[in-house]
Amino acid sequence: MSQPRVVLEGVQKSFTRRHTRSLKESAVWSAQRRKLNHRFRAVDHVDLHVREGESLALVGHNGSGKSTLLKLVAGVLVPDAGRVLVRGRVAGLIEVGAGLHRDLTGRENIALNGAILGMSPSQVRQRFDAIVDFSELEEFLDTQVRFYSSGMFLRLAFAVAVHTDPDLFLVDEILAVGDEPFRRKCLDRVARMRQEGRTLVVVSHDLSLLDQVCDRGVVLDHGRVVAQGSVAHAVSSLRARA
Residue ranges in contact with ligand ATP by CB under 6 A: 15, 42, 60, 62-68
Q: Which residues are CB-contacts of 23 (< 8 A; sequence separation ≥ 6)?
A: none
Query: Shortest distance, CB of residue 66 to ligand ATP, whole angstroms?
Result: 4
Q: Which is nearer to ligand ATP, 95 or 165 (CB)?
A: 95
> Cα–Cα distance between 182 and 135 in angstroms, integer?
9
Query: Shortest distance, CB of residue 197 to ligand ATP, whole angstroms?
Result: 27
> Cα–Cα distance between 98 and 236 in angstroms, integer?
33
Q: Which is nearer to ligand ATP, 124 or 231 (CB)?
A: 231
Identify the DSSP state of 163: T
Q: Which of 170, 22, 150 is nearest to 86 (CA)?
A: 170
Q: Which is nearer to ligand ATP, 80 or 142 (CB)?
A: 80
Query: Shortest distance, CB of residue 46 to ligand ATP, whole angstroms?
Result: 12
Q: Which is nearer to ligand ATP, 68 or 164 (CB)?
A: 68
- For residues 8 and 46, the answer to whether their CB atoms sit within 8 Å is yes
Burial class of residue 180, CB neighbours in 10 A (0-12, 13-18, 19+): exposed
Query: Shortest distance, CB of residue 205 to ligand ATP, whole angstroms?
Result: 6
> Cα–Cα distance between 199 and 135 in angstroms, integer?
23
Q: Which is nearer to ligand ATP, 17 or 34 (CB)?
A: 17
Query: Shortest distance, CB of residue 242 to ligand ATP, whole angstroms?
Result: 14
